Amino acid sequence: MAYKLSEKHIGKRAFITGAGGGLGRGLSLALAKDGWTIGITDIKEEALAESKRLIEAAGGKAYTYKFDVAKKDEYKNAFDDFIAKANGIDLLINNAGVGDGGLVGEYGLDNWDWITGINQMAAIYGSHYAVPLMKKQKSGHIISIASAAGLANMPNMGMYNVTKAAVISLMETLYAELYGFNVNASVVCPTFFRSNIMQYHKGDEKSKKIGEAIISRAKYSPDEIADYILTQAGKNKFYILHPYQAKLVFHIKRLMPMGFLKFKAKQFAKKDWVKQAANMKF
């Protein structure tokens, strides 16, 4: 299919973090079918090589960048190299992210630094580098992958919730700041979908098993989520909520904030909460 983003941005130049697999690869392949030139990043060289092969087989062009998105200087070097090779940028997708779980007070502070660097600071770095260029050319689109977790803020997920809530706040800020420059912004808040987001976890094993159990039963694949994101972004949607549970959380919290807060607190206080969480379906 042809995306409206491809029609709006005829240069078709995208920079996508965390594109060695999962949603990042799904987004890259979807754009590749429309002939985009894509800068893809990951920390795994083999994964990048496979994504590049798939992108070019699908009709796109790929430049690969192996580095840690939490390191701003490495990020800038890769970003600048892509801009030079592609002669600009039309789409930035802040996708790189990791998942983890644990209780505040028990989850290590070094681990907080780790997850904040990847989930939150990388989105800030990418936006910081892309915004001046997009403002100057008076076109572009920034999409950041947050999570429904940044809206719901469920217990035992504090470190993940905080970083995703920060991304939502960043994008709400950017929406206003970029509005007058013909540059669009979107924030994606999905619930769980099939992915390997827990592969680098640093928290306790119980939290890891809960996350993996939920993800294994998720209905949607990364490719399906990618298609939905790009379709909605093409319509200039700011809040991209998918599936229906994400939309439900979004509206309930805003209509009944304290009711929602007390409900999840009471559920967490139940002795069988861990079992309930592991059996959640999305």
Percentage of residues in the chain with pLDDT exceeding 90?
A: 82
Does an H or E element contain 232, and which?
helix 222-234
Q: What are phi and psi of 145, to 5 degrees?
A: -90, 105
Burial class (CB in 10 A: 0-12, 13-18, 19+), 187: buried
pLDDT in tens, 244-257: 899 999 999 999 99
- Which residues does residue 62 pair with via DSSP β-bridges, in sequence order? 38
Please report the domains of the chain, with CATH numbers, ordered by start residue. Answer: 4-278 (3.40.50.720)
pLDDT in tens, 218-235: 678 899 999 999 999 999
pTM of full prediction above 0.75: yes
Token representation of residue 56 = 């070019």
Is residue 124 within 8 Å of 76, Cβ to Cβ? Answer: no
